[in-house]
Chain A
Amino acid sequence: MRKSGRGTPGGPGSGLKPLNIWHMSFRLAWSDLVHDRARLLASISGVGFAVFLILIEVGFLNGIYDTQTELVYRLDGDLFLINRLKDDILPTRPFERARLHQASGVTGVRSVHPLYMNEFTGVWKSPGGGHSHVILVLALDPADDVLKIPEVQAAKAALQLPDTALFDLRSRDLYGRPAVGDVAELANRRVRLVGTFEMGPSFRNDGVAVMSDSNFLRYFPDPVTGRPDPDAVEIGIVRLEPEADLHTVRQSMDKLLPNDVAVLTADDFAGRIRTFWSVYQPIGIIFGLGAAIGFAIGVTICYQVLFNDISDNLPQLATLKAMGYTDGFLSRVVICKALMLSLLGFLPGTLLGLALYNSLEAWTGIRMWLTGPRAAMVLVLSIGMCVLAGRFAARKTRTADPADLF
């Protein structure tokens, strides 16, 4: 009955391999977790709810970023000129058209194109009902193809005609649902709808229309003079020669132009907008804080679940210690359990979050994307949340004193 070849006390872990220890703690944690189905369900719901909260807040935040920077990434250019003070798509902060001419003189620049935008003056009224509502009008020279939207590029010829426009089908429902061929009203003038495209509203505007620059200048003349004002450019789209170096061109352009305009890449432009929303606007802070609160709630729920579990099993854990299991082992069991909870909670939380994303998109037209990296980030947050709770809860296992069992 004698056993052979096992370690003596004082030997390194009595021959236990780290892999075995993890295997053991994993198995123990899993059995314990799935033992009480009702409790498991409650635990998963709790953790899932926290994941859901984080996902929603992160979704809102990214929804703002995505929708506000949508236009930037739809512009077909290498560099962009904007008013130095412009920090979001709206409100408009035009700059002098002369800057475009100056910019086009820089070596390496192939072409420079203006994009015009209206301030909150363009009221749109669809035929046959719908509200009269302000719409964002993007105006361009149709020949320039500055918008990377196939439908817009395809409608080049129609846009050249007077009193024509394209309507964004993803505009919010309050504009009604105008169809191609309809004659609507824009800024108190009749406008013929010659096509549609899809871009979507943002937090600043509910709908988008596209016009040619010549039409635009007639619809939105200078409010003071009442005459078209081609000088008020909103965004200058700069395209470079294929061999030109973006960095060099940008530097020379920066040097050449007075500092009332900024020269940006698409990412800089988008970054500027994100900074505006995340730092200067309360909304970014609110959603960021919301995500942090979701995280804190998750830590609390997970901690509570693990803590109760440990409390209920305290004599058993103390027995394990009496048998010679270390505090480290017991901590590992708790951490394993936390990991499992985070993964089990992530799935339903994410599914619920996706369902809400879809509903919100249907209600507001604001698109909320759950991209791979964002899902991964939420997963990391969920794991971090539970492991943090696990580390707190694991301290409780140290109170399991086998001397108290007698």
Chain B
Amino acid sequence: MTDRPGQASDNWAHRDATVRIQGLCHYFGESESRKQVLFDIDLELFGGQIVLLTGPSGSGKTTLLTLIGALRSVQEGTLEVLGNEYSGMADADSVLSRRDIGFIFQGHNLFASLTALRNVRLSFELQGYPRDQLDRLAADMLRRVGLGDRLHYKPAKLSGGQRQRVAVARALGARPKLVLADEPTAALDGASGRKVMALLQELAYEEGATLLIVTHDNRILDAADRVVNMIDGRIVSDVHVKQSLEVCDFLVKCDAFENMTPEVLTELSQATRLERFESGTRIIRQGDEGDKFYVVRRGNALVSIQEGGEVVTEVTISPGDYFGEVSLLTGAPRNASVFAQGPVELFSLDARSFRGALDRSHSFAEQLRAAMFARTG
């Protein structure tokens, strides 16, 4: 019943995985000078997500991107993209696989000799559309990126932002389910960058595409659903930003968290998982060892304390209320059972993250202790 965040309702929308990576390792060089650049990468990307891939240079993020783009052959591990298993794939097939992927590079890489329309047409031509429709399709795509009045301009006559938008239009011409972008906004000013990001977001949400963007550009962080950070060839963090924000927004309204610094709150929210329980199921059992702390997100739960086989207290708790902190604070077994009253969604925090938060925030600890005394008292 445990959902990893990112696979659940609204922002947590679940779609099929477009990219599935397991145990992916990659090496550069031969024999003695052989150097491992990717270590045992596991990653799943889903449709409708904008995923930022960050990390210092040399962290292997570009290598990972080129592997996902079928621009390098898989050496070790499995890599499945849009239903195609890449490992052991022939070169000719990887060329074909790329036709379903949109690529946006840091440089626009437009043919200087071709108009915006013809540059975008190249993408549609490859898809095998009838020749008489190509111009219309390319023009439509350029209109979508706001360049309807620049169809017949060559790149030299376009601004940097306009060129990048042509490149985006070209990448989207294939109606890709997966777009791989490398610093698509780095060379752009704020307004152009936002325009490009808005376009990409639109694609992700309307077409259910996955956008994987390698970037150092902090300005586009707020557009991301997820931030994967790599260091030295390993994924060191995988943060579901949108969900974290939602958790933050939610937690900050709860009494227990109200005085918490944003920094701790963010950390806390990143460690938070979403759990769902059907009506009537038991969430925790009295007498068990405590391992998690819960906050009710949606629905109601029934807290029930038994003494000598008799139910002595029953309390209904609602969104914003929390439970499960006592045994984490005292180390004693659960002092109550909690049942779902109707379907319930809970944010859960494991014991380690919970204690970490306590150590970082005195106000949180005090709040909880006060509450504990009030309850047990």
Residues on A facing B (Cβ under 8 Å): 1-3, 6-7, 9-11, 13-16, 20, 23-24, 28, 31-32, 34-36, 313, 315-316, 318-326, 401-403, 405-406
Q: In the complex where A14-B126, A320-B122 touch, is A403 in contact with B72 (Cβ < 8 A)?
A: yes
Interface string of B102-129 (1 = CB under 8 A from A): 0101110111111000100011011111
Indicate the member of A16, A315, A402 with the most B CB atoms within 10 Å: A402
Partner of B114, one of A31, A325, A401, A402: A31
| Chain B residues whose CB sits within 8 angstroms of the CB of A32 once the complex forms | 111, 113
Which of B62-70, B235-243, B253-261, B287-295 is found at the contact surface with chain A?
A: B62-70
Interface residue? B93 (CB, 8 A): yes
Shortest Cβ gap from B47 to chain A (Å): 13
| Chain A residues whose CB sits within 8 angstroms of the CB of B118 once the complex forms | 31
B99 and A16 form a contact (CB under 8 A)? no
Interface residue? B195 (CB, 8 A): no
Q: Bound complex: CA of A178 vs CA of B98, how far in Å?
A: 81
Shortest Cβ gap from A22 to chain B (Å): 12
Q: In the complex where A1-B206, A322-B98 touch, is A315 in contact with B107 (Cβ < 8 A)?
A: yes
A405 and B107 form a contact (CB under 8 A)? yes
Q: In the complex where A1-B175, A1-B206, A31-B113 touch, is A406 in contact with B62 (Cβ < 8 A)?
A: yes
| Chain A residues whose CB sits within 8 angstroms of the CB of B170 once the complex forms | 323
Q: Bound complex: CA of A402 vs CA of B72, how far in Å?
A: 9
* B112-168 residues at the A interface, CB under 8 angstroms: 112-114, 118, 122-123, 125-129, 131
| Chain A residues whose CB sits within 8 angstroms of the CB of B84 once the complex forms | 9-10
A324 and B65 form a contact (CB under 8 A)? no
B127 and A318 form a contact (CB under 8 A)? no
Q: Bound complex: CA of A24 vs CA of B66, how far in Å?
A: 27
Shortest Cβ gap from A398 to chain B (Å): 11
Interface residues on B, range: 35 or more
* B192-218 residues at the A interface, CB under 8 angstroms: 206-207, 214
| Chain B residues whose CB sits within 8 angstroms of the CB of A3 once the complex forms | 127, 175
A16 and B128 form a contact (CB under 8 A)? yes
Partner of B98, one of A28, A323, A401: A323
Interface residue? B71 (CB, 8 A): yes
Shortest Cβ gap from B208 to chain A (Å): 10
B126 and A323 form a contact (CB under 8 A)? yes
Interface string of B74-101 (1 = CB under 8 A from A): 0000000000100000001101111110
Indicate the member of B62, B92, B95, B214 with the most A CB atoms within 10 Å: B95
| Chain A residues whose CB sits within 8 angstroms of the CB of B128 once the complex forms | 6-7, 13-16, 20
Q: Which 10 A-B pairs have the closest CB atoms?
A: A35-B113, A324-B99, A15-B128, A9-B96, A319-B109, A324-B98, A403-B71, A403-B66, A9-B97, A322-B103
Q: Bound complex: CA of A405 vs CA of B196, how far in Å?
A: 19
| Chain A residues whose CB sits within 8 angstroms of the CB of B207 once the complex forms | 1
**In this complex, what residue of B is CB-closest to A9?**
B96
Q: Bound complex: CA of A319 vs CA of B171, how far in Å?
A: 10
A323 and B174 form a contact (CB under 8 A)? yes
| Chain B residues whose CB sits within 8 angstroms of the CB of A10 once the complex forms | 84, 93, 96
Shortest Cβ gap from A340 to chain B (Å): 13
Shortest Cβ gap from B262 to chain A (Å): 34
Q: Bound complex: CA of A116 vs CA of B99, how far in Å?
A: 80
Shortest Cβ gap from B26 to chain A (Å): 12
**In this complex, what residue of A is CB-closest to B118?**
A31
| Chain B residues whose CB sits within 8 angstroms of the CB of A402 once the complex forms | 66, 69, 71, 103
Shortest Cβ gap from B136 to chain A (Å): 14
| Chain A residues whose CB sits within 8 angstroms of the CB of B107 once the complex forms | 315, 405
B114 and A323 form a contact (CB under 8 A)? no
Q: Bound complex: CA of A218 vs CA of B137, how far in Å?
A: 92
| Chain A residues whose CB sits within 8 angstroms of the CB of B225 once the complex forms | none
| Chain A residues whose CB sits within 8 angstroms of the CB of B325 once the complex forms | none
Q: In the complex where A7-B128, A319-B103, A323-B99 touch, is A35 in contact with B62 (Cβ < 8 A)?
A: no
